[in-house]
Structure 1
Amino acid sequence: MTGVRAAAARYAGARVARVEDPRLLTGHGTYVDDVVRPGMLHACFVRSPLARARILGVDAAEALALDGVHAVFTAADLNPDVREAWYTLIGRDVPDTPRPPLAEGEVRFVGDPVALVVAADRYVAEDAAELVFVDYEPLPPVADYAAARESAELVHDGYPENVAGTLGGPPLDELAPVFDEAALVVRETIHQQAYAQVPIETRGMVAEWSAPTGELTIWTATQSPHEVRLFCSRLLGLPEQRVRVVMRDTGGGFGQKVAPQREDMCVMLAARKVPGALKWIEDRRENLMSAGQARHSHADARLAFDADGTITAAAIDYVQDVGAYPTPWPVGTAAAVGMFFPGPYRVPRGTWTSTSVFSNTAGLNAYRGPWQMESLVREVLMDQAARRLGMDPAELRRRNLLRRDELPYTNPNGMPYSDITPMETFEQALEMLDYDAFRKEQELARAEGRYLGVGTCTYVEPTTAAMALHATEGATIRIEPSGKVNVYVSGGSSGNSIETTVVQLTADALGVDIADVSTIQGDTAITPFGGGAAGSRSGSMTAGAVGETAAVLRERITAIAAHRLEAAQDDIELTGGRARVRGVPDAEVSLAEIAEIAYFQPAALPPGVPPGLEHSGRYHPDTPVIFANATHLCTCEVDVVTGQVTLLRYIVSEDCGPMINPNVVEGQIAGGVVQGIGGALYEHLAYDAEGNPIATTFMDYLLPTAAEVPTIEYGHVETPAPGPGGYKGVGEGGAIGAPPTVVNAVADALAPFGAEITRLPLTPESIVALVRAAAGREATR
């Protein structure tokens, strides 16, 4: 290929307005519930009211007698039709956990789907669901995952001690001498509560079977339409080309909608058994009860320091609740917690263990930064160590954070870091706050009886992991005969603005005006295969795919232009939708004229140039993972009488490489930060001792609102990654950094009381209890 160049980037790096905003902000988006098909039927699930019970029988006679009811399916009707049920995301050979579409023989959590009612509309389906009689024999539930390994009861036969899987590093005994000789060892068990993704749009699907053609069309709320297609083809034993998946707009996913869950399986299986398209839309109570949980875990962790405050070793024993039916295999994510526990610090020695434990609760599924617990535990221990050393937490971090000039660096658990800036983002965040000035303000406030605190978290985030479904990404670019450009990627509108960024990238790659570029995404019938929105991969992977594809078209365009203008191809540059001869202002030809030649005048093409201006390319990253990093910092005031936490300032210094669109980057950070604040202070997907969920409405499940979240301030450090454009992922970091930052800020505010935080969420009640307990200890001295 010759040295053809597009003009310097005009759009990448700019705060271009989102192309999807006009339809979304005016209420013209198309979500699953907006899809209406001729003769469409509606589905509603009969769900278990018990956490664990044997199913003795299902009587649907009364439901079937209700006018408008078409069918009631049980496990006996749907489950035998399953061919294969594994996810491309993790591969065929992973020892996955059980996943029956409908409960068979036994229900395993409150909300477990037992039967599927199909009726003329949702109202009739719900009425009929209440008429389905299920005869249950209650069984003792395993409600507390932390005690599940000692329980005589099993959530699933074949999993002794209720353990779904374990992984680990070297034995802790190998590090015993390091911990024994350390000047200080901080060891704590940190507990995090279960909370959930809570997307604005709940789960939903419309499945339409065409018997004459043997084709199934699915409209669904998903982050990965091609995963849904592959999963469905395996589930039903259909050829892939007989399954079409369409996602239009998806109202948030945050991991919950990466992979099809059991209800999705049921709709796919039932679609071939009913006379029309089948729609299922989950209500909010179902979502909070059955769509899955995340974060519920604890860790026994320790950090060793020498007398100067230098870290000498780190170890973590991590245990997570995976509920009854995790999606997908949870053991790999648990391992990530251990492997990333050393974080962005110089840690010479380390080890880890991880254990995934079943319980009779909703299944674990992915949630923005699924390994987030490693940062929560590590950063809480760092602040505890600083207090015991009589050192400011910022100074302790300065002594241990990796600097850019120390890279590449491999942590003791084998994670190879490169192109990150932990120290640099940390210092930028402190400077944005004016950290020293805040400490003086804090001192004056304490003298007045007000308790201010500051907390921070610096973390390393793996992005663009090249594995299984995520290994490659495709793009097709078609320059139409008019000269306008269409770019096709798997993508889809799920909140990460890939519609906007792919248009920016394509406009720059071809040297055309952004107004002349449109994108088609989310339809497996016309878009190239891709992994979708997961793993902070979309930006860098799509940039690679667009780059690979556009390079071929640039070569073809400039060859045609050079031939037409009688110039050397190396002298052709593309800008503003025109091909110009460098240094000759009047020698130019428009892209529309070039397209005219390419499509309609094949005899005028230069030798070796094929007709048409369309190409498909595929990108595979050269590195298995690209690392991003950030520092979060916040200040707060704690009312020690009421327990109320008021966040005062929130700062994020992010290094996600060069930004394709700073507005999109900051929007991704903000969304994650708010979710992390919710996890630290408000959200709790709670269960009672019998496994009954007690937070299945927004009356009980509290979310942060605009009133509780301060204005987020952004700083950026840009270190290019080894991939195309130097881009890194940014989708998950906000949710990783926010919980430890808020926890450390509250703990700093409560430092005069000697209170240490080891359990989330930090409700007003728990904060008051911490203060009272600390006062009680002081009174007994």
Structure 2
Amino acid sequence: MSAPEAPETAGYAGTRVPRVEDARLLTGHGTYVDDVTRPGMLHACFVRSPLARAKILGIDTAGALALDGVHAVLVAEDLNPGVHEQWYTLIGRDSPDTPRPPLAEDEVRFVGDPVALVIADDRYIAEDAVEQVVVDYDPLPPVVDYVTARESGELVHAAYPGNLAGELAGPPLDQLAPAFDEAALVVRETIYQQAYAQVPIETRGLVTEWSAATGELTIWTATQSPHEVRLFCSRLLGLPEHRVRVMTRDTGGGFGQKVVPQREDMCIMLAALKVPGALKWIEDRQENLLSAGQSRHEHADARIAFDADGGILAAAIDYTQDVGAYPVPWPVGTAAAVGMFFPGPYRIPQATWSTACVFSNTTGRNAYRGPWQFESVARELLLDAGARRLGLDPAELRRRNLLRRDELPYFNPNGMPYDDITPLETFEQALQMLDYESFRKEQEQARAQGRFLGVGTCTYVEPTTAAMALHATEGATIRIEPSGKVNVYVSGGSAGNSIETTVVQLTADALGAAIEDVNTIQGDTAVTPFGGGTGGSRSGSMTAGAIADTAAVLRERITAIAAHRLEADAGDVELTDGWARVRGTPDSGVSFAEIANLAYFQPEALPPGVPAGLEASGRYRPEAPIIWANASHVCTCEVDVVTGKVTLLRYIVSEDCGPMINPNVVEGQIAGGTVQGIGGVLYEHLAYDEDGNPVTTTFMDYLLPTTTDVPDIEYGHIETHSPGPGGYKGVGEGGAIGAPPAVINAVADALAPFGVEITRLPLSPAAIVALVDEAQSRQTGESA
């Protein structure tokens, strides 16, 4: 058969291929959990505690059960005994963990704590029934302020003295005493960050359907990791893993909140075996802000020692985080990451750290995009403060201390092995994009006019593709169908990171297929190979490895069949655009469809040793324990010192995430994280009053950044290759890590003429006005 002319260029990775999922998502044809409807489906709603802490003396369900359409009201004694095991594959069976009962037992521990589960014909009836459940509470003094919780006489959990969930530490601070004692300058501050939340567009939810006849449970859920849900559920219920099927179609954001099942998910799984049909639970927005979890609530006593020229001599951080009542998962590991990553991408000879995780009677802490983000907040604020006190420009101080490529590999003082990163290079690129010197001149002119402009930066290094537990390997199955079309199966868990599109690009390149002939199946544990899903900025590099390993097997088979058919040497066969051609004779070849026809229907025509069919499975294990990515963020702003309003002027990100599979996807990930970081500094606050009552459970009170609040983000890219396939790195979390310090430092720089030092977030207009007033009062007092 005469082959069409080979394309002049090949390779889809690295190009701005339109997202394959957009056709359905942008036209409203996505399938989210709430779109799932099953015959005879029932609906669930939770009775939640109105108190931050109280004993449960009794629960009267009679009024609720009397309503037409109510099938059951389940309490702790109905559900909790059904738990067999509850541990997360993500951290492993043997990791220490904190208490996590499905429904509150004996005592409620935060406002929103689930006390009972109402099951009814529809959500409306279930919500009405919730109001009829009478719970007799005996109020107890809550532990609301995690900062003082360790000295409190009250305990969130009786088994944890001092309300301490766990702590870890590096070398004793005394070992660094000479460096701090002999330094020309030691900058030391206690920096506080407020609680805020992931706030995905789609709240949590799942549908369960139990088949007693087959002993099988099917779950439709919004999750970042379908296989984690399957494993967790099988352990929870004591079911064989192959009897649990989890399906994830479209997920409207996760950002860490949907990595692992939480207590409400456990309740619905347990209740599934007790109801006569499918069961749906969809969280409303108030519930999401009330009980889906908090992040970022933390503080640290941090210090950096400098020599007279601004060189960093030592760094130390004593870090404490609020883990709420029921953290998910075990929080001590990510707390330790704050300490271990605190030196960042800087040349720091000595460092140490200590961390503590403290319970409080508030909603539990869970993962949020870059859960160790506070290390960059603390470090970058101290660097700017140090520069001001040394009389150096903050950019110049960083230039003197940032790692260069020719210094790699480099071990930070806490033992983190950095390689394949470009801290100084991304920093210089970002400053050049801004025209930093011109901005400083503009800033000086503006101050003369009574306007206050500022510039802030953050340079960080982040771990991606960490090889641990659930994340250790990733699988792929590729099938070239009899038609010659390609289906690639991966675990999925896409929550906006466009893993569908990147998988199609990678597969087309790896096989030499036409991209329009490639389709991907994800999110169904019954047909997809086991994988860790989306988390830890792992998807791109891990699926690239799995696809490369799997496609190599098929390429060899396709090439052998084509060479046999074309009477050529296998080494001379090229695979491009869905055709196998002999090098040098592009006008003849054999299509993938013809090869598939031979493989499936004419096995006798295959060369010796080549099996029938065109399907292969592979599993990838990373070559390095961690793949590092890095970036520099630069933000400029104007602050109105009368109203406290912050207007962002320009925002620049120079990113090194290795070669980009799809630049559109990479920049979308950076933008999403950056906007979340901006929101965390200027707008968002998951606040409680002194009695433990949440006061920001609607979007009237919990503020989010809008399109009018965020400037166009400008992107610069520097590429160094990781040791993994394609040289790819992760990019999902960086924006949320780099944005907060850059914005804070920009505001602090704008307010530098007043002597303002920022150590507490968020920077609301009222907070900024108070900082300026306090600084002016202090200056007046000093003058007097």
Q: How does 1:222-237 map to 2 (within 5 A)?
A: 222-237=223-238
Q: Is 1:316 aligned to residue 317 of structure 2?
A: yes
Q: Does 1:355 align with 2:326?
A: no
Per-residue CA deviation, residues 733-770 of structure 1 (Å, 9 max, x unaligned), is: 00000000000000000000000000000000010011
Q: TM-score, normalization: structure 1?
A: 0.99
Indicate how the Cα distance of structure 1 residues 334 and 253 shifts in structure 2: closer, same or farther if over 3 A, else same: same
Deviation string 1:247-270 (CA, Å, 9 cap, x unpaired) is 000000000000000000000000
Determine the C-alpha separation between the residues in 2 that align with 1:728 and 1:586. 38
Summarize deviations over 1:625-675 as a string: whole Å, max 9, x none.
Answer: 000000000100000000000000000000000000000000000000000
**Secondary structure of the residue that 1:116 maps to in structure 2?**
strand
Question: Which residue number corresponds to residue 210 of structure 2?
Answer: 209
Whole-angstrom distance in 2 between the partners of 1:434 and 1:272: 63
Q: Secondary structure at the match of 2:358?
A: strand
- Secondary structure of the structure 2 residue equivalent to 1:145: coil
Aligned to 1:124: 125
Q: Residue deviations 1:391-436, cap 9 Å, x none?
A: 0000000000001111000000010000000000000000000000
Q: Compared with structure 1, are the counterparts of its residues 434 and 204 closer, same or farther at alpha carbon in structure 2 (3 Å cutoff)? A: same
What secondary structure does 1:459 align onto? strand
Structure 2: distance between partners of 1:700 and 1:359: 22
SS of 1:335 mapped into structure 2: helix
**Whole-Å Cα distance in 1 between the matches of residues 541 and 341 of structure 2?**
22
Deviation at 1:9, TM superposition (A): 4.9
Instruction: Tell me what 2:13 maps to.
Output: 12
Q: Tell me the residue number matched to 1:271.
A: 272
Query: Helix, strand or coil: the match of 2:131?
Result: helix
Whether 1:445 and 2:446 are equivalent positions in the alignment is: yes
Matching residue of 1:182 = 183
- CA deviation map 1:547-583 (0-9, x unaligned): 0000000000000001111111111110111001111
2:572 corresponds to which residue? 571
1:181-225: CA deviation from partner (whole Å, max 9, x where unpaired) = 001000000000000000000000000000000000000010000
- Post-superposition Cα deviations, 1:486-524, rounded to whole Å, max 9, x if no partner, equal 000001331000000000000001111110000000000
Residue 3 of structure 2: aligned partner: none
- The CA distance in 2 between the partners of 1:138 and 1:144, in whole Å, is 18
Deviation at 1:8, TM superposition (A): 7.5
Is 1:470–2:471 an aligned residue pair? yes
| Alpha-carbon distance between aligned partners in 2 of 1:132 and 1:780, rounded to the nearest angstrom | 59
How many angstroms apart in 2 are the aligned matches of 1:463 and 1:658?
Answer: 14
The one-letter code sitting in structure 1 at the alignment partner of 2:251 is T
1:304 paired residue number: 305
Q: Normalising to structure 2: TM-score of the pair?
A: 0.99
Give the Cα–Cα distance (whole angstroms) in 1 for the partners of residues 739 and 577 of structure 2.
42
What secondary structure is seen at the aligned counterpart in 1 of 2:595?
A: helix
Distance in 1, Cα, partners of 2:268 & 2:342: 40
Question: Contact 2:454–2:636 at 8 Å: present in 1 too?
Answer: yes
CA separation in 1, counterparts of 2:9 and 2:268?
49
Which residues of 2 match residues 119-158 of structure 1 at below 5 A?
A: 119-158=120-159
Contact kept, 8 Å, 2:237 with 2:270, in 1: the verdict is: yes
Following the alignment from structure 1 to structure 2, what is the Cα–Cα distance between the partners of residues 7 and 414? 48
Task: Give yes or no for contact 1:271–1:278 (8 Å, CA) kept in 2.
Answer: yes
SS in 1 for 2:148: helix
1:408 aligns with 2:426: no
Q: How far 1:539 sits from its partner (Å)? A: 0.2
Instruction: Give the SS at the match of 1:356.
Output: strand
The answer to whether the 8 A contact 2:10-2:576 is kept is no
Matching residue of 1:339: 340
Q: Identify the residue that residue 505 of structure 2 maps to in structure 1.
A: 504
Cα displacement (A) at 1:7: 10
2:291 corresponds in structure 1 to 290
Q: Is 1:243 aligned to residue 244 of structure 2?
A: yes
* CA deviation vs aligned residue, 1:80-137 (integer Å, no higher than 9, x gap): 0000000000000001000100000100000000000000000000000010000000
**Structure 2 partner of 1:374:** 375
Q: Could you tell me how far apart the structure 2 residues matched to 1:493 and 1:544 are?
A: 17
Q: Which whole-Å CA distance do the structure 2 matches of 1:667 and 1:50 have between them?
A: 40
Q: Deviations over 1:674-706 (max 9, x none)?
A: 000000000000001111100000000000000
Name the CA distance, whole Å, in 1 between partners of 2:758 and 2:738. 17
Query: Which stretches in structure 2 are left out of the alignment for 5+ residues?
Result: 1-6
Q: Give the AA of the match of 1:407.
A: L
Distance in 2 (alpha carbons) for counterparts of 1:392 and 1:460:
22
Determine the C-alpha separation between the residues in 1 that align with 2:609 and 2:753: 78
The reply on whether 1:633 has 2:634 as its aligned counterpart is: yes
Q: Does 1:608 align with 2:609?
A: yes
Q: 1:419·1:720 contact (CA, 8 Å) conserved in 2?
A: yes
Q: Secondary structure at the match of 1:131?
A: coil
Q: Which amino acid aligns with 1:145?
A: Y
Amino acid of the structure 1 residue aligned with 2:73: V
Do 1:7 and 1:511's aligned partners in 2 also have CA atoms closer than 8 Å?
Answer: no
**What do residues 332-381 of structure 1 show as CA deviations (whole Å, max 9, x unaligned)?**
00000000000000000000000000000000000000000000000000
SS of the aligned residue for 1:43 comes to: strand
What is the DSSP-based 3-state SS (H/G/I as helix, E as strand, rest coil) of the residue aligned with 2:316? strand
Task: Deviation per CA, 1:44-99: give whole Å up to 9, x if none.
Answer: 00000000000001110010000000000000000000000000000000010001
* CA-CA distance at 1:587 after TM superposition: 3.4
Corresponding residue for residue 492 of structure 1: 493
Quote the residue 2:618 is aligned against: 617
Look up the SS of the partner of 1:618 in the other structure.
strand
One-letter amino acid of the counterpart of residue 64, structure 1: L
Please give the alpha-carbon distance, in whole angstroms, between the structure 1 residues aligned to 2:11 and 2:87: 43
- The aligned residue for residue 723 of structure 1 is 724
What amino acid maps onto 1:153 in structure 2?
E
**Structure 1 position 34 matched with structure 2 position 35:** yes
Q: Gapped runs of 5+ residues in structure 1?
A: 1-5
Q: CA RMSD in A?
A: 0.8
Q: How far apart are the structure 2 equivalents of 1:70 and 1:585?
A: 69
Q: Counterparts of 1:350 and 1:217 in 2: how far apart (Å)?
A: 50
Q: Aligned to 1:50, what secondary structure does the other structure show?
A: coil
Write the letter of the residue equivalent to 1:260. Answer: P
Deviation of residue 585 (structure 1)?
Answer: 2.5
Q: Alpha-carbon deviation of 1:727?
A: 0.1
2:533 is aligned to 532
AA at the equivalent of 1:459: Y
- Tell me the amino acid that sits aligned with residue 234 of structure 1: R
Q: Provide the C-alpha distance between the structure 1 equivalents of 2:708 and 2:243, rounded to a whole number of angstroms.
A: 49
Contact 1:8 1:508 in 2 (8 A): no
Provide the residue aligned with 1:545 in structure 2: 546
SS in 2 for 1:686: coil
Q: 2: CA distance between counterparts of 1:737 and 1:191?
A: 17
Q: Could you tell me how far apart the structure 1 residues matched to 2:145 and 2:435 are?
A: 44
- Per-residue CA deviation, residues 7-61 of structure 1 (Å, 9 max, x unaligned), is 9752000000000001000000000000000000000000000000000011100
1:553 alignment partner AA? L
- Counterpart Cα distance in 2 of 1:185 and 1:428: 29
Give the aligned partner of residue 59 of structure 2.
58
Aligned partner of residue 402 in structure 2, secondary structure = coil
The answer (yes or no) to whether the contact 2:462–2:628 under 8 Å persists in 1 is yes
Cα gap change, 1:618 to 1:466, in 2 (>3 Å): same
Which residue type is aligned with residue 347 of structure 1? I
Note if contact 1:340-1:374 (Cα within 8 Å) is conserved in structure 2: yes
User: Which position in structure 2 is the counterpart of 1:3?
Assistant: none
Distance 1:296 1:194 in 2: 4
Query: Size of the alignment, in residue pairs?
Result: 776
